[in-house]
Amino acid sequence: MSNKIQSIRGMNDLLPEDTPRWQFVEGVMRKTLAAYGYSEIRMPIVEKSELFKRSIGEVTDIVEKEMYSFADRNGDELTLRPEGTAGCVRAVIENNLVRGAAQRLWYMGPMFRHERPQRGRYRQFHQLGVELFGLESSDVDAELISISARIWRELGIKDVTLQINSLGSTDTRAKYRDTLVSYFKESYEQLDEDSVRRLESNPLRILDSKNRDMAELIQNAPILEEALSDEDRDHFEQLKAYLDSMGIAYEVNPRLVRGLDYYGRTVFEWVTDKLGAQGTICAGGRYDGLVEQIGGKSTPAVGFAIGIERLVELLKESAVEFKQNRVDAYLVLVGDAAISAGLGVAEKIRELIPGIELIANLGGGSFKAQFKRADRSGAHYALVVGEDEIATETVTVKDLSGEQEQRNIALTLIESSLVL
């Protein structure tokens, strides 16, 4: 049998033609986060299933139907992380990271959700997550939003808009919950199966439904704003003032509730109309109750996550130019003497020109064949080493873009002879 084994549906290879754009995006993110004093944290990809049930909420799309869960050989119930906040909070508590001072953290990596694969929706996808622990005031929420805004600016992305909302405190949501239940009960026959189930357990989730048949019902639902307490209202008003003062434009979307249970007060999303149905590239909000909920000392927190696949796709759509890596030189080795000395010569060149991107010809081949490979590699220069060059400790430099004449130079002078 020689059946080809294929990748898992919804889990993609990132090919060499894709990775430069990803590295560009990741590089901008790292640099931007450093500029705001955030540090990287790396958590395991697998956590106890209980962690996600307790933090994301039992009655959410993720926990109800999207988790990759399994029992390991000890019979422990484990799950491939569907998002990063839960694991980050667990790590913060376990390592006692919030003692007095605020913690500014970020992480990047794969997340797993068993969804229906389509454009912008995969079963393994990647997120940048940014979290701040220990501060309650809305300047934090505003700064986080400004970090995301700066990432768009640094990447050259323009076609995104910011939506914000406040979900209020736990009390507010409890009151609002009752209002929503009465409203939806009046139109019980219009609810879909998921919504009927959520009506008792988690009616706010109904607002997050993607079912188009329910769009109008949701559009006419009472909004939470009227139920906000004075404190919640102040927090939200201050956030808007901070955003105004930074010149960050936003829309207040009173129906923005987010698909996870742990949010309260500020929630926000960055959306684009350039990506079809999966238009949210970044989502986040405040989750002041979560740390305590999973066993830590009560600690306010805010965070957001960027969907990197969607962001990379948006960069492509917007035809944003970025610096592509180009191989600097290809080392052509002519004759047995050069072939046996070749790897040594390549090492020498790498020492003489730190950072040079040099492909050494491997596996021999005729002069002509090697030149063809040099051309195909996209290298700027071919560096030719044969018997003569070995004897005189020189290399022959050929500019493959054809701008300069071929010349023979001393190996020791190679750095000043190439324009990289």
**Min CB(284)–ligand ATP separation in Å:** 7
**Min CB(11)–ligand ATP separation in Å:** 11
Q: Which residue, 280 or 293, is less far from ligand ATP as judged by CB?
A: 280
Tell me which stretch binds ligand ATP (CB under 6 A): 140-148, 274-282, 316-324, 369-377. 274-282
Paired residues of 264 in beta bridges: 286
Paired residues of 266 in beta bridges: 166
Q: Which residue, 120 or 168, is less far from ligand ATP as judged by CB?
A: 120
Q: Which residue, 312 or 349, is less far from ligand ATP as judged by CB?
A: 312
Tell me which stretch binds ligand ATP (CB under 6 A): 13-21, 95-103, 178-186, 306-314. 306-314
- Tell me the HSE value of 211 on the side-chain side, using a 13 A CA sphere: 15
For residue 417, what are the CA distances in angstroms to 24, 315, 411?
Answer: 29, 36, 10
Other beta carbons within 10 angstroms of residue 276's beta carbon come to: 11
Rule CB under 6 A: say whether 335 interacts with ligand ATP. no
Total residues found in the chain within this entry: 420
**Which of the residues 242 through 271 are near ligand ATP (CB under 6 A)?**
259
Which residue in 33, 257, 305, 356 binds ligand ATP (CB under 6 A)? 305
Rule CB under 6 A: say whether 373 interacts with ligand ATP. no
Q: How far is it, in rounded angstroms, from Cα 267 to Cα 270?
A: 11
Which residue in 38, 52, 125, 263 binds ligand ATP (CB under 6 A)? 125
For 296, which DSSP code?
S
User: Looking at beta carbons, which residue is closest to ligand ATP?
Assistant: 307
Cβ proximity of 203 and 180 under 8 Å: yes
Tokens at residue 150, please? Answer: 């700066």
Q: Which residue, 227 or 305, is less far from ligand ATP as judged by CB?
A: 305
Paired residues of 166 in beta bridges: 266
Q: How far is it, in rounded angstroms, from Cα 23 to Cα 190?
A: 47
Q: Which residue, 60 or 166, is less far from ligand ATP as judged by CB?
A: 60
- Which residues 6+ apart lie within 8 Å of 258 measured at CB? 167, 208, 267, 269, 283, 285
- Which residues 6+ apart lie within 8 Å of 293 measured at CB? 54, 55, 262
Amino acid at 73: R
Which residue in 281, 379, 383, 395 binds ligand ATP (CB under 6 A)? 281
Which residue in 26, 64, 115, 225 binds ligand ATP (CB under 6 A)? 115
Which residue in 141, 194, 309, 389 binds ligand ATP (CB under 6 A)? 309
Describe the strand order of the beta sheet including 77-80 as a list of residue ranges: 46-48, 77-80, 68-71
Tell me which stretch binds ligand ATP (CB under 6 A): 42-50, 277-285, 320-328, 381-389. 277-285
Rule CB under 6 A: say whether 169 interacts with ligand ATP. no
Rule CB under 6 A: say whether 389 interacts with ligand ATP. no
Rule CB under 6 A: say whether 388 interacts with ligand ATP. no
Rule CB under 6 A: say whether 303 interacts with ligand ATP. no
Q: How far is it, in rounded angstroms, from Cα 315 to Cα 203?
A: 36
Q: Is the dihedral of CA 25, 111, 294, 257 positive or negative?
A: positive
Other beta carbons within 10 angstroms of residue 377's beta carbon come to: 17
Tokens at residue 199, please? Answer: 């009506």
String of contacts with ligand ATP for each residue 73-112, x by CB under 6 A: ----------x-----------------------------
Phi and psi of 359, rounded to 5°? -100, 125
**Min CB(310)–ligand ATP separation in Å:** 5
Q: How far is it, in rounded angstroms, from Cα 209 to Cα 212?
A: 8
Rule CB under 6 A: say whether 278 interacts with ligand ATP. yes
**Min CB(198)–ligand ATP separation in Å:** 15
Rule CB under 6 A: say whether 144 interacts with ligand ATP. no
Which residue in 127, 209, 266, 299 binds ligand ATP (CB under 6 A)? 127
**Min CB(320)–ligand ATP separation in Å:** 18
Q: Which residue, 280 or 377, is less far from ligand ATP as judged by CB?
A: 280
Tokens at residue 4, please? Answer: 């080809």
Q: Which residue, 124 or 146, is less far from ligand ATP as judged by CB?
A: 124
For residue 372, what are the CA distances in angstroms to 330, 331, 377?
Answer: 11, 12, 9
Binding site for ligand ATP (CB under 6 A): 83, 113, 115, 120-122, 125, 127, 259, 278, 280-283, 305, 307, 309-310
